[in-house]
Amino acid sequence: MTPDRADLRRLHFVNALFAHVTGQDLYLAEQIKAAITFSLTELETQTVEHPDYAAKFDVAFNAAAANLLAKAFQHLPGHGFFHWDAARTLTSATPLFARDEIMTGLKQLAPHREATLLVTNLRPALIPPPKRAVGRRLQEYEDALAFIRDLAAARTSPNANLQLLFL
């Protein structure tokens, strides 16, 4: 992926995550993205010198953005937030472990009327970068997305407003 394309992807990622703050204003999203990137300057410098570090930078950027989002939601007492990183362990994205970890998050979000469930790295966990996204792997990814959506719908109160974000 070219640096410009990766930068644009990160900008849209930040704009989607922080829509409640930016109001879909790309200028504000760019400011947040720049702040996150600034916090990772050493890794960014290494990425310029070693282009193969780009995947490391993406993972670090996503983690920093998720942490910033968690801190932002801490200031909203009525809003619950749970982040699940599907690539946290080698088995996290498998159906049995994914169900357990998502259920843990849904239980944590149950008392809140407004909540956000952030799922990151599901695609890289099921389709690791050196491998090609073909038939069986794509089907496993689509099945995992449907499984998480169905589980969240079944285990969330009808009165609750759950935002489910896949990044």
User: Are 51 and 105 found together in one domain?
Assistant: no
Q: What confidence tens digit (pLDDT) does each residue in 7-37 have?
A: 888 888 888 878 777 787 888 888 888 888 8
* Residue 33 domain boundaries: 1-75
User: Are 157 and 87 found together in one domain?
Assistant: yes
User: Are 58 and 133 found together in one domain?
Assistant: no
User: Are 123 and 64 found together in one domain?
Assistant: no
Q: What confidence tens digit (pLDDT) does each residue in 39-83 have?
A: 777 776 776 676 666 667 777 888 888 888 888 777 777 888 899
User: Are 9 and 62 found together in one domain?
Assistant: yes
- Give residue 8's region: left, alpha or beta (phi > 0; psi -120 to 50): alpha
Dist CA 14 CA 30 (whole Å)? 8
Give yes or no for a contact between 135 and 102, defined as CB atoms under 8 angstroms apart: no
Last residue of a domain, one of 48, 75, 102: 75
Q: Is the pTM of this model over 0.75?
A: no
Helical (H) or strand (E) element with 148:
helix 135-155
Number of domains in the chain: 2
User: Are 19 and 93 found together in one domain?
Assistant: no
